[in-house]
Chains A and B, each alone.
Chain A
Amino acid sequence: MESWLQGSILTWVTFLPLATAFGLLGSTLLALFLKTKPLSPTVWKAVALAGTLLTFLLSVFGVWARFDPEQSGFQLLERVPWMAEWGINYFVGVDGISLVLVMLTTFLMPVVIVASWNDIGRSRRTYVFFMLFLETGMLGAFTALNLFQFYVFWEVMLIPMYFVIGIWGGPRRVYAAVKFFLFTMVGSLLMLVAMLVLYWANFEQGGALNFDLIDAGAAQGVAILDTVLPVESGEGTPWWATQFWLFAAFAVAFGVKVPVFPLHTWLPDAHVEAPTAGSVVLAGVLLKMGTYGFVRFALPLFPVAAVTFVPLMFGLALVGIVYGSLVAMIQKDVKKLVAYSSVAHLGFVMLGLFALNLQGVTGSVLQMVNHGLTTGALFILVGFIYERRHTRDIADFGGIARPMPVYAALFGIVTMASIGLPSLNGFVGEILILLGTFQADRWVAVVATSGVVLAAAYMLWLYRRVMFGPVVHPENRGLIDLDWRERLVVVVMILPMIWIGVQPGPVLRRIEPSVAVVLDHMAQRGAALPGRAVDPEPGPDEPVETARWTPDVEGAP
Chain B
Amino acid sequence: MDPALLNPSVVAPPAWLGLGAMAVLLGEVFLSRSGRGGPGGPGSGQDVSELRLGTTLAGLALAALVLALYTAGASFVAGVHAPFNPMRPMLQMDPLSSAAMVIVATGAALAVMLSITYLPVLRINHGEYYALVLLSTAGMLVMVCSVDLLSLFMGLELMSIPVYVLAGFDRRKLRSNEAGMKYFLIGAFATALLLYGMALLYGATGHTDFAGIREGFDPESGLAMSGLGLVVAGLAFKISAVPFHQWSPDVYEGAPTSVTAFMSVAVKSAAVVILVRFVALALPESTGALEEAFWWLAALTMVVGNVMAVIQTNVKRLLAYSSIAHAGYLLVGFATGTEAARAAILFYLLAYTFMNLGAFGIVVALARGGREHEKIDDFAGLARVRPVLAGLMTLFVLGLAGIPGTVGFIGKFQLFSAAVAGGLVELAIVGVLASVVSVYYYLRLPVAMYMRDPLDDTAAEASTSEVVVLTLCAVAVLALGLWPNTPTLPLLDWAQAASSAIP
B428 within 8 A of A: yes
In the complex the two chains form, what is the Cα distance from A162 to B432 in whole Å?
20
B436 within 8 A of A: yes
In B86-117, which residues have CB < 8 Å from any A CB? Answer: none
B211 within 8 A of A: no
In B434-457, which residues have CB < 8 Å from any A CB? Answer: 435-436, 439-440, 443, 446-447, 450-451
A30 within 8 A of B: no
A178 touches B436 (CB 8 A): no
The residues of B that contact A193 with a CB separation of less than 8 Å are 416, 420, 425, 428-429, 432
The residues of B that contact A82 with a CB separation of less than 8 Å are 483
In the complex the two chains form, what is the Cα distance from A151 to B428 in whole Å?
17
Chain B residue with the shortest CB-CB distance to A82 = B483
In A118-133, which residues have CB < 8 Å from any B CB? Answer: 123, 126
The residues of A that contact B384 with a CB separation of less than 8 Å are 123
B420 touches A196 (CB 8 A): yes
B420 touches A197 (CB 8 A): yes
A189 touches B405 (CB 8 A): no
Chain A residue with the shortest CB-CB distance to B387 = A126
B443 touches A155 (CB 8 A): no
The residues of B that contact A167 with a CB separation of less than 8 Å are 450-451
The residues of A that contact B398 with a CB separation of less than 8 Å are 159
The residues of A that contact B409 with a CB separation of less than 8 Å are 152, 155
B464 within 8 A of A: no
Residue from B416, B436, B492 whose CB has the most chain A CB atoms within 10 Å: B436
Interface code B467-503, partner A: CB below 8 Å = 1, 0 otherwise?
A: 0000000000000000111000000110000000000
Interface code B418-438, partner A: CB below 8 Å = 1, 0 otherwise?
A: 001101011011001101100
In the complex the two chains form, what is the Cα distance from A166 to B452 in whole Å?
10
The residues of B that contact A162 with a CB separation of less than 8 Å are 443, 446
A173 within 8 A of B: yes
Contact among A123, A181, A192 with B432 in the assembled complex (CB-CB below 8 Å): A192
In A127-164, which residues have CB < 8 Å from any B CB? Answer: 151-153, 155-156, 158-159, 162-163
Chain A residue with the shortest CB-CB distance to B422 = A200
Given contacts A156-B405, A181-B439, A238-B425, contact A190 B451 (CB under 8 A): no
A190 touches B405 (CB 8 A): no
Contact among B403, B420, B423, B446 with A155 in the assembled complex (CB-CB below 8 Å): B403
In the complex the two chains form, what is the Cα distance from A177 to B446 in whole Å?
11
Residue from A162, A174, A185, A186 whose CB has the most chain B CB atoms within 10 Å: A185
In the complex the two chains form, what is the Cα distance from A174 to B413 in whole Å?
29
Write the nearest CB–CB distance from A86 to chain B, whole angstroms.
8
Contact among B403, B420, B432, B440 with A200 in the assembled complex (CB-CB below 8 Å): B420
Write the nearest CB–CB distance from A192 to chain B, whole angstroms.
6
A196 touches B436 (CB 8 A): no
In the complex the two chains form, what is the Cα distance from A85 to B494 in whole Å?
13
B405 touches A152 (CB 8 A): yes
B404 within 8 A of A: yes
Chain B residue with the shortest CB-CB distance to A157 = B404
A156 touches B403 (CB 8 A): yes
The residues of B that contact A178 with a CB separation of less than 8 Å are 440, 443, 447
The residues of A that contact B383 with a CB separation of less than 8 Å are 123, 126
B403 touches A182 (CB 8 A): no
Write the nearest CB–CB distance from B422 to chain A, whole angstroms.
9
A443 within 8 A of B: no
Given contacts A193-B425, A197-B425, contact A182 B436 (CB under 8 A): yes
The residues of B that contact A189 with a CB separation of less than 8 Å are 432-433, 435-436
The residues of A that contact B417 with a CB separation of less than 8 Å are 196, 199-200
In the complex the two chains form, what is the Cα distance from A83 to B413 in whole Å?
13
In the complex the two chains form, what is the Cα distance from A199 to B429 in whole Å?
16
In A169-208, which residues have CB < 8 Å from any B CB? Answer: 173-174, 177-178, 181-182, 185-186, 189-190, 192-193, 196-197, 199-200, 203
B443 touches A85 (CB 8 A): no
A159 touches B447 (CB 8 A): no
A240 within 8 A of B: yes
Given contacts A190-B432, A193-B416, A193-B420, contact A240 B451 (CB under 8 A): no
Chain B residue with the shortest CB-CB distance to A249 = B429
Chain B residue with the shortest CB-CB distance to A137 = B405
The residues of A that contact B493 with a CB separation of less than 8 Å are 85
Contact among A151, A185, A238 with B423 in the assembled complex (CB-CB below 8 Å): A238
The residues of B that contact A181 with a CB separation of less than 8 Å are 439, 443
Chain B residue with the shortest CB-CB distance to A148 = B413
In the complex the two chains form, what is the Cα distance from A189 to B429 in whole Å?
8
Write the nearest CB–CB distance from B56 to chain A, whole angstroms.
29
Given contacts A156-B404, A167-B450, A178-B443, contact A85 B425 (CB under 8 A): no
In the complex the two chains form, what is the Cα distance from A469 to B10 in whole Å?
89
Residue from B403, B423, B435 whose CB has the most chain A CB atoms within 10 Å: B403
A83 touches B492 (CB 8 A): yes
A83 touches B484 (CB 8 A): yes
Write the nearest CB–CB distance from B428 to chain A, whole angstroms.
5
A151 touches B404 (CB 8 A): yes
The residues of B that contact A190 with a CB separation of less than 8 Å are 429, 432-433
A186 touches B436 (CB 8 A): yes
The residues of B that contact A126 with a CB separation of less than 8 Å are 383
Contact among A85, A155, A238 with B404 in the assembled complex (CB-CB below 8 Å): A155
In the complex the two chains form, what is the Cα distance from A257 to B355 in whole Å?
29
Given contacts A151-B404, A182-B440, A196-B417, contact A174 B425 (CB under 8 A): no
Write the nearest CB–CB distance from A5 to chain B, whole angstroms.
24
In the complex the two chains form, what is the Cα distance from A102 to B462 in whole Å?
42
B405 touches A166 (CB 8 A): no
The residues of A that contact B405 with a CB separation of less than 8 Å are 152, 155-156
A166 touches B425 (CB 8 A): no
The residues of B that contact A159 with a CB separation of less than 8 Å are 398, 403
Write the nearest CB–CB distance from B399 to chain A, whole angstroms.
12
In B7-47, which residues have CB < 8 Å from any A CB? Answer: none
In the complex the two chains form, what is the Cα distance from A193 to B429 in whole Å?
7
B450 touches A166 (CB 8 A): yes
Write the nearest CB–CB distance from A36 to chain B, whole angstroms.
17
Interface code B267-287, partner A: CB below 8 Å = 1, 0 otherwise?
A: 000000000000000000000
B428 touches A166 (CB 8 A): no
Write the nearest CB–CB distance from B36 to chain A, whole angstroms.
39
Write the nearest CB–CB distance from A56 to chain B, whole angstroms.
25
A196 touches B428 (CB 8 A): yes
In the complex the two chains form, what is the Cα distance from A51 to B64 in whole Å?
48
The residues of B that contact A238 with a CB separation of less than 8 Å are 423, 425
The residues of A that contact B440 with a CB separation of less than 8 Å are 178, 182
Write the nearest CB–CB distance from B415 to chain A, whole angstroms.
11
Chain A residue with the shortest CB-CB distance to B425 = A240
Chain A residue with the shortest CB-CB distance to B403 = A155
In the complex the two chains form, what is the Cα distance from A78 to B383 in whole Å?
38
The residues of A that contact B451 with a CB separation of less than 8 Å are 166-167, 173-174, 177
A174 touches B447 (CB 8 A): yes
Write the nearest CB–CB distance from B306 to chain A, whole angstroms.
12
Chain B residue with the shortest CB-CB distance to A241 = B425
The residues of A that contact B447 with a CB separation of less than 8 Å are 166, 174, 177-178
In the complex the two chains form, what is the Cα distance from A126 to B449 in whole Å?
13
The residues of B that contact A174 with a CB separation of less than 8 Å are 447, 451
The residues of A that contact B416 with a CB separation of less than 8 Å are 192-193, 196
The residues of A that contact B423 with a CB separation of less than 8 Å are 238
A-B contact pairs, 15 of them (CB 8 A): A83-B484, A123-B384, A152-B404, A153-B404, A155-B403, A155-B404, A162-B446, A177-B451, A182-B436, A185-B436, A185-B439, A189-B432, A190-B432, A196-B416, A203-B421
Chain A residues proximal to chain B, CB less than 8 Å:
82-83, 85, 123, 126, 151-153, 155-156, 158-159, 162-163, 166-167, 173-174, 177-178, 181-182, 185-186, 189-190, 192-193, 196-197, 199-200, 203, 238, 240
Closest 9 A/B residue pairs (Cβ): A189-B432, A196-B420, A152-B404, A240-B425, A155-B404, A166-B451, A200-B421, A193-B428, A185-B436
Question: Can you add 12 more A-B contacts, CB < 8 Å, to A85-B493, A123-B383?
Answer: A156-B405, A177-B447, A181-B439, A182-B439, A190-B429, A190-B433, A193-B416, A193-B432, A196-B421, A199-B420, A240-B425, A240-B426
